[in-house]
Each structure stands twice: as C-alpha cells, then as structure tokens.
A and B are shown apart, each in its own frame.
Chain A
C-alpha cells in the first residue's frame, strides 16, 4: 500500500506553532546535518530566534562507526553561541531509532552544559531503540515504516522542503 506523505511546508508551519509559545531570550536552535539544518534555518527565521543558528554533523559521534566506518563526507559542526545555560532545541527532519539524537546530545555536551535541551522533528516514523522522544513533533506516521525504507527531507532550488521515501 503506498504511503501518503504530508506536505513538509505545512508540517513546518505546524512546528512553528508548537515551538513559538516556548521561545525566550535563552532559546537557541541547533540543526542536525543535512535535513535538520535546512529545517533549523527556516525555524530560526520564522521564530525570530536571537542566538545565531548552530549546526552539527554527528558523523564523529555515531555508534555504528566501529562497524560501518567513517561517513565519507562529514560536515563542519558549528555552535556560534555560548552553550553554557542556553535552552537548546535540537532540530532534525525525521525521528527514527533515536541514535542520531543521542549522538547529537553527546556532541552538544562537548561544547558546554546547556540549561535545557529539547528535540523538534518534522516527522516521527516510529522504531525507537533508545529512550528518546521529541517535545515538538509536527507529524507521526500512522504506522512504522519497514527498515528497508528511508524517509528523508529534500530541498529544491527554490528552498521548498518536501518529504521523500527512498528504498535503502
């Protein structure tokens, strides 16, 4: 049965509505490469967050490095604000096993001790392998996807976001 995917731009608007009431002076956003970073870029603008936008690539913190080796093209991480005591929202496109979020948390704590960390995702596809949940989630798939399928965010030339299913 083909799976109907919601429009990513609609989900983004929903995510903005969820986060907005909690935004304060101390709020900072950190997007996870690559989809999460696109999303964080948009959220940063739409929410008017004052702290400069951070991005992380979790390649150096992945727990499957021992079995799969290093990701061939890791990106630069950059946290241009003081992590100490900041209220950080980690932004990712899809929440699945929770392992990426775990890696991002580990990396974040190497920059300092945040006051609070939350997770915002566009889509939850089920399949958690760790005790991790998203405080902000725009959409939860009605049922879990098989492991052979990969759900990803893509961005076209105009900057419009969309969700895609790819056979891994």
Chain B
C-alpha cells in the first residue's frame, strides 16, 4: 500500500503522522532541525529556502501557539504566509473542506498547514491533492482530532535529544489524559521508533485507551510507581471539557492524585527533565513550583518547535 506521507522516491511528501514514519526520516528531521536553531541568533533571522512559496495556515480549530510557531517558521524561511481562520469563514457559509482546498490551490498554494477537529482531515486533503494530480503541494498536519500532532511529537523528541543526547538508555513517562491526546499518540509513536527502551504511560483508567499496551508501553495507574527512576516526564494537558463529568470527579481531585508536584518529581532521577506541550493548567496537571523550576524545559520546547517546523517545511518543499 502506498504510504500517503512519502512520494514515489520514498521522500517525505506530506507530514501527517509519526506513526508509520520510517526511522531514517524521523532522524533526518531532527538532524536538519539542529542548524535551524542557530538562525534565531542572527541579525537577519531569515533563510531564503521558501522564497516565493505560499504557505496557507488552515486552522479549522483554534490554536494560538501552534499557528504562531508555524507562521514564524514559514516567515523565517521567507515564505508568504496566509492565515485562514476557517472556523469563522467559508465553512460557516457551507463550503466543504475540499472545496476550500481547491479554491486555495487556485490561488497557487504551495503548502497547507492544517488543524482540524476531525481525525484524518489532513489525510483527506493529501489524498485529494494526489487524486487531482497536484503532488507538488504539501500538507503538514498541525493536529487532527484525537489522532496526531506530529510536529509537537517531533519537537518533543528534539527537546529530549537536546537534553539527554541519546534515546536508547532512557525511561520516559507520559502522564495524564492519553485517551483524548493527539500529542500523546504522536509522542508514543516517535519514542517507539527512536528505540526508547522503557516508555510508561501514567493516568487514571478513564483517561487511558483500553489497548494502550499494544503501542509497546508500560501502563501504570499509580503516579509514584510510574515516576520512579524516570529520565523524562512528559505531562499532558487536561482539557477543560474533561475536567467535570463522568471521567473525573474534579480538577482539585485530579491534581491531588495526578498533578506533578515537587514531592512526586523527586521520585524521578535527579536530572530528569519535565516537559509540557502547553497551554498549562497550573494547579491541575502541574504544580507552579515544578512548572517554573530548574527541571522544566517547557519554554525551550517552544523555541525548538520553530526550528523543527522550519526543518519539516524546508524538507517538504525541497522534495
């Protein structure tokens, strides 16, 4: 079967998911991202790689940080960036997703950065482009439903490699609402591909997918047990709409059991790093002392995110 992310030469054509992405390409993205971090230190923070290209940020779901970092990344590559807040425009008037795409193709789009509340929407667009012979247009998934958020997964891997150098000797723990998290799914796929020997997922039964063991991870329903000896602690955001309802009693209760406090973090290795994809809920999944503490690498994650997105876009545009 054709891998929808790769072209016929086996090169990256679209970035849709980290699940099924070969190690060679995953590694190449991380390698290529490294020199892009240096651009931020220059007088002129621009590279000419995407000069004359039009990148459309197609956000069917709100997101400030992801959209902004994609925009900065594309602009540092000299692309023209057009932001479409689709949730407040054509779709409201009844236009279908693929009609929107066709219209933007008619405006000479070179790349779509897509965020959509439905899992698979970026695949649908990539398929449509292929079926209509427009293989020169690239799609980057910026988060689709509960499915995947590949650039977040990549920037997390870049952050881990930056601070820990290697993957093959690590214990990595993912804590929180794995069930609803596209970030977690991308992280788990990448951690497995990169050969992390021990990946643990920690969270209440109601927020872990039933068959999560099949992703090659160890499941812990006890936070303390899960954190013991960890090198990397990746916290997930508890989404507001899950806080009250059948899945959880209350945010306070959640914090008491699953919130990352200095006491719980002390069970991990002394040099363990703490990551969070943002936006953080202080006092729900993470204590402020930890979020602002010396082990947190949450802001470097944001900075690396720009370099990683530059790497992805320049790889795609060159293939």
Contact = CB atoms under 8 A, between A and B. Distances in A.
Interface in B15-55: 28, 31-32, 34-35, 38, 42-44, 46-49
Interface residues of A, number: 22
Nearest to A79: B42
A76 interface: yes
Interface in A53-98: 57, 59-61, 65-66, 68-70, 72-78, 83
Given A57-B35, A77-B35, A70 B49 contact: yes
B48 A106 contact: yes
Contacts of B47: 60-61
Contacts of B28: 72
A70 B46 contact: no
B318 interface: yes
Nearest to B319: A69
Q: Interface centre among B11, B46, B47, by most A CB within 10 Å?
A: B47
B31 A73 contact: yes
B119 interface: no
Nearest to B310: A60
Nearest to B52: A66
B46 A60 contact: no
A115 interface: no
Nearest to A63: B48
A111 B43 contact: yes
Contacts of B314: 60, 70
A60 B33 CA distance: 12
A60 B268 CA distance: 40
B31 to A, nearest CB: 6
Interface residues on B, range: 10 to 19
Question: Residue among B31, B38, B48, B315 with the most chain A CB within 10 A?
Answer: B48
Contacts of B32: 70, 72-74
Contacts of B319: 69
Contacts of A59: 35
Contacts of A65: 49, 318
Given A73-B31, A74-B32, A61 B48 contact: yes
A112 B44 CA distance: 8
B207 to A, nearest CB: 39
B38 A76 contact: yes
Nearest to A84: B43
A69 B318 contact: yes
Contacts of A109: 44
A70 B31 CA distance: 12
A1 B48 CA distance: 42
Contacts of B44: 109-111
Contact of A75 (B11, B35, B315): B35
A140 B42 CA distance: 35
Nearest to B50: A65
B318 A70 contact: yes
Given A69-B11, A75-B35, A111 B42 contact: yes
A59 B315 CA distance: 12
A101 to B, nearest CB: 16
Interface string B294-319: 00000000000000000000110011
B49 A112 contact: no
A29 B9 CA distance: 40
A74 to B, nearest CB: 5
A77 B42 CA distance: 10
Nearest to B28: A72
B48 A70 contact: no
A112 B43 contact: yes
B78 to A, nearest CB: 10
A69 B315 CA distance: 7
Given A69-B319, A70-B314, A83-B43, 19 more contacts: A57-B35, A60-B35, A60-B314, A61-B48, A65-B49, A66-B318, A68-B318, A70-B32, A72-B31, A74-B32, A74-B35, A75-B35, A76-B38, A77-B38, A78-B38, A109-B44, A110-B46, A111-B43, A111-B44
Interface of B: 11, 28, 31-32, 34-35, 38, 42-44, 46-49, 314-315, 318-319
6 contacts: A60-B49, A69-B319, A70-B49, A74-B32, A76-B38, A111-B44
Interface of A: 57, 59-61, 65-66, 68-70, 72-78, 83, 106, 109-112
Q: Pick the 8 closest A-B CB pairs, nearest first.
A: A69-B318, A110-B44, A70-B318, A60-B47, A76-B35, A74-B35, A76-B38, A70-B314
